[in-house]
């Protein structure tokens, strides 16, 4: 019999009472909803398929196929959403270099999202987008209208709050008159990182001050002092004197590498199940990369209640869009603008619908049979006289 692999859901189910006894009074409705969805995902609590079960293609062992929660923060429910999204993006790729740019908030500003997540992340998207669009349009820089995709991540490897934006930027854009494609000439990122950093910082602080002035920010608990105008302004002045990190990686090798990158970043959650090692004595052990120590792989142990608290910090407000596209990739005119880009680049428009994304099992790994550990589980239709409930005993006994 194959040993059950540790999941975030196991931590939630085991320490639910203790966690809510300590932190239940500060958990928002959207966080509680995500907690319950992840806890119940692919269990009897969500019901099962009435016509199908999963059956091993080697030994015939059958497992009831319970429903997924489909919550965007669930480690088990991202593979199918990712495959569908990537298939749609594949048809939008252009035959140009692509760059990866990361905008990061300094800690003292990022922590404001603990109590103002929606507003802080909205400003983060706006400031980063305006920075890229306006500097690229400057005739002294590229002098073109660019397009790009931005993905919000709010975590670091240790699950602390670390808001940052990953941007995938095609290397070039459309000339102001719309008659030429202006490509980048450099192998490194075609916009100066120092200029990006300064503009990003100034724009963010401008919008942050406006949010404070119009009452869109609230502070309580440890941050209560920032409700005072002078204290808040002092924070902004200090932040303005700090270097804000904008990082640009070398260009990707081609469209295939872009898709591979997007597959890793777009549908991530705070921590994947594969990084979990054990739950023992009320502590969760998991792997992480220590970027301050040469990206070395290390092991961290957290109290289970603290592990859950940190995970829930990264549950986004309901309805908040964490993947956004701008410039000629913006939703409203994307199809028309991409067609213009291909004409200017002298390439044909892809014919037919994008290729269907390959269906993956949980987190992209094959689902091995829990009984024999050799075969793989496949979905099979039950005979008309069979019932999933009649299989429960065999399923549970595995």
The pLDDT-based confidence of 374 (bands split at 50, 70, 90) is confident
Torsion of CA 247, 253, 254, 257, to 10 degrees: -70
149 and 313 Cβ atoms separated by less than 8 Å: no
For 296, the 3-state DSSP assignment is strand
Residue 48: its pLDDT value, please? 57
For the cut 60, the answer to whether the pLDDT of residue 351 exceeds it is no
Kindly state the tokens that stand for 281.
């004595």
375 and 369 Cβ atoms separated by less than 8 Å: yes
Residues of the chain with CATH 3.40.1310: 92-270+315-345
For the cut 70, the answer to whether the pLDDT of residue 51 exceeds it is no
Give one DSSP letter per residue of 4-38, joined into a string.
PPP-HHHHHHHHHHHHHHHHGGG--HHHHHHHHHH
For the cut 50, the answer to whether the pLDDT of residue 361 exceeds it is no
For the cut 80, the answer to whether the pLDDT of residue 134 exceeds it is yes
Kindly state the tokens that stand for 74.
């669930």
In this prediction, what percent of the chain has a pLDDT beyond 90?
61
Residue 381: its pLDDT value, please? 65
What mean pLDDT do residues 96-121 have? 95
Sign of CA dihedral 299, 304, 308, 309: negative
DSSP state letter for 145: B
Q: Which residues make Cβ contacts (< 8 Å) with residue 146, sequence separation at least 6?
A: 132, 133, 136, 137, 169, 170, 172, 173, 327, 328
pTM of the entire structure?
A: 0.84
Q: Which residues pair with 150 in a beta bridge?
A: 167, 324
4/32 Cα distance (integer angstroms): 26
Topology (CATH) of 92-270+315-345: Replication Protein E1; Chain: A, (3.40.1310)
What mean pLDDT do residues 203-212 have? 98
pLDDT 10s digits, 53-66:
677 888 877 766 66
Residue 91: its pLDDT value, please? 83
Mean pLDDT of the chain: 85
pLDDT 10s digits, 304-313:
999 999 999 9
pLDDT 10s digits, 382-396:
565 544 444 443 433
For 379, the 3-state DSSP assignment is strand
């Amino acid at each position: 019999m194959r040993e059950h692999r540790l999941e975030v859901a196991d931590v939630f189910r085991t320490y639910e009472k203790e966690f809510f006894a300590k932190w239940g009074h500060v958990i928002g409705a959207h966080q509680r909803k995500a907690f319950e969805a992840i806890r119940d995902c692919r269990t009897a609590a969500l019901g099962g398929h009435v016509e199908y079960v999963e059956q091993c293609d080697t030994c015939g062992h059958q497992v009831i196929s319970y429903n997924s929660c489909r919550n965007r923060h669930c480690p088990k429910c991202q593979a199918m959403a990712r495959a569908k999204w990537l298939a749609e993006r594949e048809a939008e790729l252009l035959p140009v270099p692509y760059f990866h740019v990361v905008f990061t908030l300094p800690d003292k500003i990022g922590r404001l999202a603990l109590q103002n997540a929606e507003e802080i992340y909205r400003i983060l998207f706006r400031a980063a987008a305006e920075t890229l669009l306006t500097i690229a349009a400057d005739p002294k820089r590229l002098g073109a209208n660019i397009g790009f995709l931005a993905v919000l991540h709010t975590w670091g490897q240790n699950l602390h709050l670390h808001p940052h934006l990953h941007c995938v930027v095609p290397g070039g854009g459309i000339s102001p008159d719309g008659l030429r494609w202006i490509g980048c000439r450099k192998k490194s990122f075609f916009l100066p990182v120092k200029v990006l950093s300064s503009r990003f910082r100034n724009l963010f602080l401008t919008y942050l001050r406006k949010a404070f002035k119009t009452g869109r920010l609230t502070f309580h608990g440890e941050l209560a002092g920032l409700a005072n105008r002078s204290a808040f302004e002092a924070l902004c002045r200090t932040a303005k004197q700090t270097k804000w990190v904008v990082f640009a990686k070398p260009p990707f090798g081609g469209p295939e590498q872009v898709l591979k990158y997007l597959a890793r970043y777009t549908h991530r959650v705070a921590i994947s199940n594969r990084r979990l090692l054990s739950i023992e004595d009320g502590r969760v052990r998991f792997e992480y990369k220590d970027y301050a120590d040469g990206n070395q792989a290390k092991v961290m142990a957290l109290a289970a209640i603290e592990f859950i608290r940190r995970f829930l910090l990264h549950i986004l407000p309901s309805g908040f869009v964490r993947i956004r596209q701008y410039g000629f990739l913006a939703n409203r005119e994307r199809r028309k603008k991409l067609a213009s880009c291909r004409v200017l680049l002298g390439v044909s428009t892809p014919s037919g619908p994008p290729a269907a994304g390959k269906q993956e099992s949980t987190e992209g790994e094959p689902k091995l049979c829990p009984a024999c550990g050799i075969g793989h589980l496949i979905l099979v239709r039950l005979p008309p006289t069979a019932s999933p409930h009649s299989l429960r005993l065999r399923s549970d006994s595995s």
